């Protein structure tokens, strides 16, 4: 099948590689290079970088505005059977999409979690499962017909970054299935139930808050759902660090009645939370340092039980 791919984020890389291997890839449309890092160096998207490094640079288009007339005409001139859109970053307009078969891979079980941060939202809400949906493109965000879905259980110990990679790896099979059904003339779509819609807006630094007065399970979801971005930071004494992974700790007499944020077990990194619960810090990262375990962090710093761990940004 002749395919044009629209995408910018790394989430779509496994699917793009599948399309390049199993189909005739005629074009790749990605976002322009953007300044990144401390030096604001112009940096390509993960998709652009792979296309160039794989020797397919001639296929790459990086328009500032994909719906400009000249860009629309250039893309529509490509004789493709299908367009595959994954984490592209711009809305495709009606003139561009007219009479084209275009599908989108979205990392949630639509209609739950429409929007830019569905993986984070599923973890933050404590959903037991999530998955991928392949949908048609619609005028409203993520509101197209559902063509196929895959499901994956959410492990409470998974971070958003880890779940992102797992769902990304699930993408090729689902997109392959949809393209095969389309080629066979058997593809059917199902309308989404609007009464079940939930939204997952884009996250920013303002969302990087943590409330240690919440129950331990909520604290764990908050830490994992915001790792690696935008992250949550804490401070023990004068030392600041990012919390990357925590475990819900079984109840003990040490944590009973302790104020939220109290380090109740300095050897194991157990912090009291609300409702008589606690979490144990597994992984953290001080500024400019590597990711480390609590034991590695505590070695040489010798934190004492009773010390207070404070959230750098609390819900306000």
**224 and 183 in a common domain:** no
**59 and 15 in a common domain:** yes
Half-sphere exposure in the Cβ direction for 25 (13 Å, CA) = 22
Q: Which residue range(s) make up the domain with 150?
A: 2-196
State the DSSP H helix or E strand holding residue 105, giving kind and residue range, or none if neither: strand 102-106
Domain boundary among 196, 223, 249: 196
**211 and 164 in a common domain:** no
State the DSSP H helix or E strand holding residue 78, giving kind and residue range, or none if neither: none
Please give the model's pTM, rounded to 2 decimal places.
Answer: 0.96
**214 and 181 in a common domain:** no
Mean of per-residue pLDDT scores for the chain: 96
**Nearest partner of 168 among 105, 104, 102, 84, judged by Cα:** 105
Q: What are the pLDDT digits (tens) for 154-187?
A: 999 999 999 999 999 999 999 999 999 999 999 9
Burial of 244 (0-12, 13-18, 19+ CB in 10 A): buried
Q: By three-state DSSP, how is residue 166 classified?
A: helix
Any idea which of 37-46, 74-83, 116-125, 168-177 has the lowest mean pLDDT?
37-46
**140 and 63 in a common domain:** yes
Q: What are the pLDDT digits (tens) for 149-159?
A: 999 999 999 99
**220 and 106 in a common domain:** no
**20 and 149 in a common domain:** yes
**Nearest partner of 117 among 233, 229, 209, 219, judged by Cα:** 229
**301 and 232 in a common domain:** yes
Q: By three-state DSSP, how is residue 15 classified?
A: helix
Residue 201 located in a structural domain? no
Bond from prior residue into 204 cis (ω within 30 degrees of 0)? no
Residue 226 located in a structural domain? yes
**Structurally, how many domains does the chain consist of?**
2
Find the CATH number of the domain harbouring 29.
3.40.50.170
**187 and 152 in a common domain:** yes
The DSSP output letter for 236 is E
**171 and 216 in a common domain:** no
**235 and 269 in a common domain:** yes
Domain boundary among 163, 196, 229: 196
Q: What are the pLDDT digits (tens) for 264-298?
A: 999 999 999 999 999 999 999 999 999 999 999 99
Residue 252 binned pLDDT confidence (cut-offs 50, 70, 90): low
Residue 316 located in a structural domain? no
**95 and 73 in a common domain:** yes
């Amino acid at each position: 099948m002749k395919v044009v791919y629209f995408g910018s984020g790394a989430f779509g890389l496994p699917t793009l590689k599948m399309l390049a291997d199993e189909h005739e890839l005629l074009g790749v449309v990605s976002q322009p290079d953007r300044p990144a890092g401390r030096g604001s160096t112009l940096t390509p998207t993960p998709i652009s970088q792979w296309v160039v490094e794989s020797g397919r640079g001639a296929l790459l288009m990086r328009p500032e505005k994909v719906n400009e007339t000249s860009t629309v005409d250039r893309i529509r001139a490509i004789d493709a059977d299908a367009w595959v859109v994954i984490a592209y970053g711009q809305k495709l307009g009606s003139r561009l999409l007219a009479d084209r078969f275009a599908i989108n891979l979205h990392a949630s079980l639509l209609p739950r979690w429409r929007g830019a941060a569905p993986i984070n939202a599923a973890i933050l809400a404590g959903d037991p499962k999530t998955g991928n949906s392949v949908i048609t493109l619609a005028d409203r965000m993520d509101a197209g017909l559902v063509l196929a879905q895959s499901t994956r259980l959410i492990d409470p110990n998974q971070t958003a970054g880890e779940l992102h990679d797992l769902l990304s790896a699930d993408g090729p099979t689902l997109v392959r299935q949809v393209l095969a059904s389309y080629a066979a003339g058997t593809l059917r779509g199902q309308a989404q139930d609007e009464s079940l819609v939930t939204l997952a807006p884009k996250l920013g630094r303002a969302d990087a808050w943590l409330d240690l007065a919440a129950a331990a399970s909520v604290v764990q979801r908050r830490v994992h759902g915001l790792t690696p971005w935008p992250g949550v930071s804490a401070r023990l004494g004068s030392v600041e660090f990012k919390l990357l992974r925590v475990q819900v700790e079984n109840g003990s007499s040490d944590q009973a009645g302790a104020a939220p944020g109290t380090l109740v077990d300095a050897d194991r990194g157990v912090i009291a939370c609300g409702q008589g619960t606690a979490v144990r810090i597994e992984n953290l990262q001080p500024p400019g340092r590597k990711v480390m375990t609590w034991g590695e962090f505590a070695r040489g710093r010798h934190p004492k039980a009773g010390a207070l761990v404070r959230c750098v940004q609390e819900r306000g």
